Structure 1
Amino acid sequence: MPQHTLPRPICTHCDGFPTVAITTGQTTEDGERHTITAHCPACRGTGHSIGRNAPAGAYARVGV
């Protein structure tokens, strides 16, 4: 029987696209573009909110 788990919130910094390939502008000997991989620093490449990246559940007015 499947387990029912709540979906984790999507990272607000990368909108769920945590890993991208960036071209360096150089080509390899085969003529292909040289790329590097970059991960979202907020979610560490998971695409989901972690800790302080999680959106606030509710706003409350405090004080006068």
Structure 2
Amino acid sequence: VNKWVFDIVEKYNGSVSAEHGVGLVKKDYLRYTRSDAEIALMKGIKQVFDPKGVMNPGKIFD
């Protein structure tokens, strides 16, 4: 069901995430609605606030 829903989200330029974040269920579908540049920016922000990667390791970025 997730893939079907996220395919529709991608088709209509929606977002896989809103108030509650990405999480493990939506992790594989983040690229459906975020560009490589946006994901790189997100990774950069996480690096600033969590340089050792101890907060929620593997939850969004591996």
Pick the TM interval, shorter chain: under 0.3
Structure number with higher helix proportion: 2
Q: TM-score, normalised by structure 2?
A: 0.21
Structure number with higher strand proportion: 1
Q: Which has the larger radius of gyration?
A: 1
Q: TM-score, normalised by structure 1?
A: 0.20
